[in-house]
């Protein structure tokens, strides 16, 4: 049952998946294989990106930034395919992500 529609990073989604559900163990294994960081670090990065107060950056963008941890402008632009970020916004996001590498 859907209670709330909120974009989550893979690390944050782990707390909602139960191993005993159909395919639950498989999903958990997949997430652990591809998640770049633990939930606590993901939450900290989310707070730092929000603190940048960039109007164009939405919650779904933040979740993808946490999942993909882009290191270059080109990588970041793949996440923001429908939004044009200026050079200053790109640098702020990239520098924030680099703090968590």
pTM above 0.75, yes or no: yes
**79: its two tokens:** 């996440």
Planar angle of CA 93, 98, 101, nearest 5 degrees: 135
pLDDT in tens, the chain (101 residues): 678 888 999 998 888 887 777 778 888 888 888 888 999 999 999 999 999 999 999 999 999 999 999 999 999 999 998 888 999 999 999 999 999 98
Residue ranges per domain, the chain?
8-101
């Amino acid at each position: 049952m859907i209670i709330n529609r909120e974009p989550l990073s893979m690390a944050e989604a782990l707390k909602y998946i139960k191993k005993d559900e159909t395919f639950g163990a498989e999903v958990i294994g997949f997430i652990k294989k591809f998640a770049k960081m633990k939930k606590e670090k993901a939450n900290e990065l989310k707070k730092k990106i929000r603190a940048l107060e960039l109007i164009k950056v939405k919650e779904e963008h933040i979740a993808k930034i946490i999942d993909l941890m882009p290191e270059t402008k080109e990588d970041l632009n793949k996440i923001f395919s429908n939004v044009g970020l200026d050079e200053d916004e790109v640098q702020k996001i990239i520098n924030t992500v680099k703090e968590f590498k």
